[in-house]
Amino acid sequence: MSSEDRVNVFLLGATGQSSDTPHQWVSWLPELMASAHVGYIGGSVLGNLLSNVNPSLDLTVLVRDAAKAHKLNQLGVKIVLGELDDVENIQTLASQADIVLECADADHLDSTKAVLAGLKQRYKDTDKVPTLIHTSGTGVLTDHAAGMYATDIIYDDNDAEQLAKLSPEQPHRNVDLAVIAADEEGYVKTYIVLPSTIYGLATGPLVDAGIVNPQSQQIPALILAGKGRGQAGMVGQGKNIWPNVHIDDIVQLYEVLWNNVIEGKAIGHGKEGYYFGENGEHILLDVAKTIGAELKELGLAESDEPTTFTKEEVDRWFGGSESLGSNSRCRANRSRVVGWKPKKGTEDMLASIKPEIQYMLSKES
């Protein structure tokens, strides 16, 4: 694709959970855990696109909230009202796109199939191979450690053979496999971005306008549970390990992939198109301890020592999911090879916990 061509772009997942109302501690948290960063990643990617305005870019965004759609319209973005279940609409919009940025629910297979069907039609209509940049997650690498041990299995995004051995039963895997199969058919080039534990409050005019979700998933979930039970906690003994990445760094990974595609550079796609978003890793116990210290300092817990969540608490606070007790270890070697240069690491992640708590309290009050 030449940078001189006019580029039609379709973005899904730019808006999600509203941040304009106080958190409902029990009822809202399972929804948060299932949201797959909707609006947090996509909204940040959209903000980045808008800040780097390209006159040859025609951008269309699927939005489910009419009020947010109106605000985006005022910023010059073409909006189509709809949800991920509106598969016919999504297929039509994808058939008009040269590039689709899919930043919505990583487990919504029907919407991804609709995107792929639309891109297949785009290829038939133009005889040009369109692009899909799809968002998955390092949850696809998880095990069943239940917080009781760390694993020494580390996945490399530059090792296609290793990743091909992932079980089709892993989280997100069925959608990822559909994306890869489409690339193998030849009618689309696919690139899969796999963020890890994303942290940091998103910023920018779209956040200020209340259009996009400023918070991530895992760390806010642990904070909410800790505040709700009056003591920080972890699954099992918290010995499991996850990678981490700052929101600004993961947005830069999308930008790097975008630029490579626009400039027509030959980078890995399809089964060789995995791009991990990680810059360091953490033991979940360290996250729980940091949350505990901050909750105690703010008078929200009597002890700074975290304790193990009971089964009832996992059900109550996380909808029964023990994903926060799993291991997910990886290295973003392919991402770095194509030009990604993340800046913030694990110390920054731990330092981000206090601002997260303060933000939540400000919304509650």
CB distance 254 to 133 below 8 Å: yes
| Residue 134 confidence (pLDDT) | 98
Residue 225's identity, in one-letter code, is A
Structure tokens at 209: 């306008």
Higher pLDDT, 31 or 45: 45
pLDDT in tens, 292-320: 999 999 999 999 999 999 999 999 999 88
Contacts of 315 (CB under 8 A, 6+ apart): none
On the question of pLDDT at 198 being above 70, the answer is yes
Exposure b/e, 142-159, CB count within 10 A at least 16 = b: beebbbeeebeebbbbbb
Quick check: 353 and 222 in contact, CB under 8 A?
Answer: no
| Averaged pLDDT for residues 203-220 | 89
Residue 34, pLDDT score: 41
Residue 18 confidence (pLDDT): 39
Relative to beta strand 241-246, strand 281-283 is antiparallel
- CA 298/CA 203 separation, integer angstroms: 24
Specify the pLDDT at position 1: 56
Query: What does pLDDT average to over the chain?
Result: 91
CB 219 within 8 A of CB 234: no
| pLDDT value for 364 | 81
pLDDT reported for residue 36: 40
- For residue 207, pLDDT over 60 is answered with yes
Strands across the sheet with 189-195, in order?
A: 78-81, 57-63, 7-12, 99-102, 131-135, 189-195, 274-277
For residue 14, the model assigns a pLDDT of 87
For residue 16, the model assigns a pLDDT of: 62
pLDDT digits over 44-95, tens only?
999 998 887 666 788 999 998 888 888 888 887 899 999 999 999 999 999 9
C-alpha distances out from residue 248 to 78, 197, 212, 297, Å: 24, 13, 15, 28
What pLDDT was estimated at residue 176?
98
Q: What is the pLDDT of residue 72?
A: 87
Residue with tokens 């796999």: 194
User: Residue 20 pLDDT > 80, yes or no?
Assistant: no
| Span of 9-23, 152-166, 178-192, 313-327 with lowest mean pLDDT | 9-23
pLDDT for the residue 3: 47
Report yes or no: 213 and 38 within 8 Å, Cβ to Cβ.
Answer: yes
Q: Token pair 């106080």 is at which residue?
A: 22
Coil/strand/helix, residue 90: helix
According to DSSP, the residues that pair with 199 across neighbouring strands are 246
pTM of the model: 0.92
Task: Give the lowest-confidence range in 55-69, 239-253, 277-291, 293-307.
Answer: 55-69
pLDDT, tens digit, 9 for 90 and up, residues 124-140: 999 999 999 999 999 99
Predicted local distance difference test score (pLDDT) of residue 38: 56
The span from the CA of 268 to the CA of 352, in Å, is 33
Tokens of 156: 């490399």
Amino acid at 354: K
Answer whether residue 242 shows pLDDT above 60: yes
Token output for 93: 């919009």
Angle at 356 between CA 354 and CA 361, to 5 degrees: 95
Round to whole Å and give the CA distance between 168 and 155. 16
Q: Does 12 score more than 70 pLDDT? A: yes
Is residue 24 pLDDT above 50, yes or no?
no
Helix residue ranges, H only, the chain: 28-34, 40-51, 66-74, 87-94, 109-126, 160-164, 173-185, 205-208, 218-229, 247-262, 284-297, 311-318, 333-337, 346-351, 353-364
For the chain, which domains are there?
7-364 (3.40.50.720)
pLDDT > 70 in the chain, percent: 92
CA 43/CA 18 separation, integer angstroms = 12
Tokens at residue 18, please? Answer: 């509203």
pLDDT bin (cut points 50, 70, 90) of residue 28 is very low
Evaluate whether 116 touches 179 at the Cβ level (below 8 Å). yes
Q: Which amino acid is at 163?
A: L
For residues 17 and 35, give the distance between their C-alpha atoms in angstroms, rounded to a whole number.
8
Evaluate whether 233 touches 305 at the Cβ level (below 8 Å): no
- Cα 177 from Cα 321, distance rounded (Å): 23
pLDDT tops 80 at residue 354 = yes
Ramachandran region of residue 298, left (φ > 0), alpha (ψ -120 to 50) or beta? alpha
